[in-house]
Structure 1
Amino acid sequence: MPFFDAFTQDVAVDLGCSTVRVYVRGKGLVAVEPNLVAARKSGPNCGEVLSVGVEAAHMIGRTPQEVAVVRPVRGGAIADLDCMEAMLRHLAHETGFLGRLRRPRLTIPVPLDLSSVERRAVQECGKQIGAREVRMVPKVVAAAIGLGLSEERPQGHFILDIGGGTTEAAVVSISGVVTSRTLRLGGTSLNDALVNFVRRKFNLLIGDETAERLKLILGSAYPSDLSRKLEIRGRDLISGVPKAVEIGSEETREALEESVSEIVAVVCELLENTPPEVASDIFSQGLVLIGGGSLLGQLDLRLREATGLLAVRADDGTNTVVMGAGRILEDPEGYSGLFSA
């Protein structure tokens, strides 16, 4: 073993818009935390960091005016380098993958359409926390490995990854990505749609936590005969006092429809541009759904109606990407051709 390897730890970090996940070689998945940083406002940059992760999540909607809770990653790219660095340092401390003599080698899954500037931001963030090396791998390829698809005979597989900030639809085979489409829209966009709908219809301002709860309980991508209602609370925009209203499942579906339609359109567009031989494989196997956004109610039925294909949610689909990146760490020689700087 080379001398420096004794002080190097291989770590995979999935920098999601909503959640950061950390996998350490030989240990497995060691951390899953909200990708949030609470900091004092300092112009466009991250100011004094007050809390990160779970603690920052508890501060949403409860901070003084001079404090903001920031999402360091937006649309699949690092939007605030300083806050992302603070988040990674916290995770490094919590999991012990960084120390005076221990400089990790980071593997970071990234969207396929990340620009060169956005890639440099990923590199810079890793270097700032003291990483010896930062390697990137396409998220959809890591997902395919996490699903075990790469171990099967050469076939095409359709993966739909709906994360917090992006939706990636890709056809992947044993040789790599055949074709793909990326949409800068994800679970946080669905929450924003609910916040805006409630504001317009009820003159009520609700927080992200309430929108997330509404999405999980009543959110649906497909009409249903079953009508349900949920009481939500917020601030009345006219009187300025707290108020509660009831919202129904059909209203919730209506609020999400525009975003859901965009996702369905991307899937249909990709299928139309898939080579015939691979299309035959997909017809036999259907679509595999991963990511937190894929948990939206009845999304599988909506996709089945739009495409005529079976749509199946993967087991543990929220961790598929980081577990795939972890498998790459456990067999670096076998997957050496996947990395990019």
Structure 2
Amino acid sequence: MLLRRFFRFLSKDIAMDLGTANTLLYTRAHGIVVNEPSVVALDAHSGKVLAVGAAAKEYIGRTPQRIRAVRPMKDGVIADFDVTRAMISYFVRKAITGLRLVKPSMSICIPTGITQVEKRAVIDAAMLAGAADISMIEEPMAAAIGADLPIHEPLGNLVLDIGGGTSEVAVITLSGVANTQSVRIAGDAMNLAVQRFMRDAFRMEVGDNTAENVKKIIGSAMPIPNAPILEVSGKDMVRGGPRVVKVTEAHVREALREPVQAILEVVLRALEKTPPELAADIYRNGMLMAGGGSLLKGLDEYIARETRLKVFVDKDPLTTVLRGTAKAMLDRETYRSVFIN
């Protein structure tokens, strides 16, 4: 018993949200210690890692030929194994300071419905990055725990988690997922929709970071009174030189119409497949929204109008999933049943 307590004292338990857009790490001792973009800058010739996270994101759209900015996660799963392993290694080293006598145990949240091969890739990447052992929890379950929903009770809890690569809806009851639906349309798809609209409407190309900023500043799912007009810089597709155009909230709302509709439809599919008893609970209690995509202005109001549900966004939707993963990691006796093989 004393030996086990001693090694627990030495161990560095880490909870990780390995996201398409951002990666977050939490340690028992210090809370959230990493919250950075899931981006790696590489030397195009040697493959050497030049920068990771926020520093690497600055390279996107600006890199000389000798540097590649890579996003190794796509649609919530690993798209480039070696780069993901290097990214996790960097973040783990950043998270764990001081003497490292024992390898960390890691609890990692994953999308629902991913394949065994995709799960194995996450495990292998984390182990090669220095983890001693791995536990996994599905993201909607982690979001429900992070938002303090009563997951152990015989009640239906509806969760919508909109990340960078996927939007997932789950009905959670008695510590399990009763029904889940997902679509690989989320924050990244919104950015691409803005870029496509700028090409079609203005004959102008804008980079990933510019599109994301436009979405954050004036993106919306519902009309917003007195919204600002944004001056957006890009490349003129006809003349080839730089150009600035004025973009309104209505422009961006039109650009985002298709991804917003796709997210609504996955919610409607989940509701359609929910048993009547749980549906009654959901009607009374409403739906939780989490993930960075839930910050799109008016999205909660739009989904509430179309589903006739009460919809509430978590107090800090960017960290909901990580907080839930950490909470389960720190109290394994209570949350043992939520971890998956």
Same fold, TM-score > 0.5, yes or no? yes
- TM, length-normalised to structure 2: 0.94
Distance 1:267 1:55 in 2: 36
Distance 1:29 1:225 in 2: 36
Q: Secondary structure at the match of 2:48?
A: strand
Aligned to 1:71: 71
Aligned to 1:279: 279
Q: Secondary structure at the match of 1:317?
A: coil
Q: Secondary structure at the match of 1:223?
A: coil
Q: Residues 235 and 242 of structure 2 are in contact (CA less than 8 Å); yes or no, is this contact kept in structure 1?
A: yes
**Change beyond 3 A, Cα 1:183–1:229:** same
Q: Residues 159 and 287 of structure 2 are in contact (CA less than 8 Å); yes or no, is this contact kept in structure 1?
A: yes
Distance 1:250 1:119 in 2: 40
Amino acid at match of 1:334: T
**Mapped pair 1:198 → 2:198:** yes
Give deviations 1:191-219, integer Å, cap 9, x for gaps.
01101110122111111121111111211
Task: For residue 152 of structure 1, report the CA deviation from its aligned partner.
Answer: 6.9
Match among 20, 24, 38 for residue 21 of structure 1:
24
Q: Residues 108 and 137 of structure 2 are in contact (CA less than 8 Å); yes or no, is this contact kept in structure 1?
A: yes
Aligned to 1:118: 118
**Change beyond 3 A, Cα 1:234–1:4:** same
Aligned to 1:321: 321
Q: Residues 194 and 211 of structure 1 are in contact (CA less than 8 Å); yes or no, is this contact kept in structure 2?
A: yes
Q: Secondary structure at the match of 2:50?
A: strand
Distance 2:227 2:39 in 1: 34
- Aligned pairs for 1:137-148 (under 5 A) are 137-148=137-148
Identity of aligned residues (%): 39
Amino acid at match of 2:38: N
Aligned to 1:8: 11
Aligned to 1:167: 167
Larger mean Cα displacement after TM superposition, 266-275 or 22-31: 22-31
Q: Residues 271 and 279 of structure 1 are in contact (CA less than 8 Å); yes or no, is this contact kept in structure 2?
A: yes
Task: For residue 151 of structure 1, report the CA deviation from its aligned partner.
Answer: 6.1
Larger mean Cα displacement after TM superposition, 72-81 or 216-225: 216-225
**Change beyond 3 A, Cα 1:55–1:259:** same
Aligned to 1:301: 301
Aligned to 2:106: 106
Show structure 2 runs of 5+ residues with no match: none
Show structure 1 runs of 5+ residues with no match: none
Aligned to 1:35: 38
Aligned to 1:312: 312
**Mapped pair 1:268 → 2:268:** yes
Task: For residue 336 of structure 1, report the CA deviation from its aligned partner.
Answer: 2.0
Larger mean Cα displacement after TM superposition, 256-265 or 210-219: 210-219
Q: Residues 152 and 175 of structure 2 are in contact (CA less than 8 Å); yes or no, is this contact kept in structure 1?
A: no
Q: Secondary structure at the match of 1:260?
A: helix
Distance 2:7 2:226 in 1: 61
Distance 1:290 1:69 in 2: 28
Larger mean Cα displacement after TM superposition, 88-97 or 66-75: 88-97
Distance 1:54 1:232 in 2: 22
Q: Residues 175 and 337 of structure 2 are in contact (CA less than 8 Å); yes or no, is this contact kept in structure 1?
A: no
Aligned to 1:80: 80
Aligned to 1:334: 334
Let me know the Cα RMSD of the aligned residues: 1.9
Distance 1:75 1:131 in 2: 24
Task: For residue 174 of structure 1, report the CA deviation from its aligned partner.
Answer: 2.7
Task: For residue 99 of structure 1, report the CA deviation from its aligned partner.
Answer: 6.6
Q: Residues 142 and 322 of structure 2 are in contact (CA less than 8 Å); yes or no, is this contact kept in structure 1?
A: yes
Task: For residue 55 of structure 1, report the CA deviation from its aligned partner.
Answer: 0.7
Amino acid at match of 2:177: V
Q: Residues 175 and 338 of structure 2 are in contact (CA less than 8 Å); yes or no, is this contact kept in structure 1?
A: no
Q: Residues 11 and 97 of structure 1 are in contact (CA less than 8 Å); yes or no, is this contact kept in structure 2?
A: no
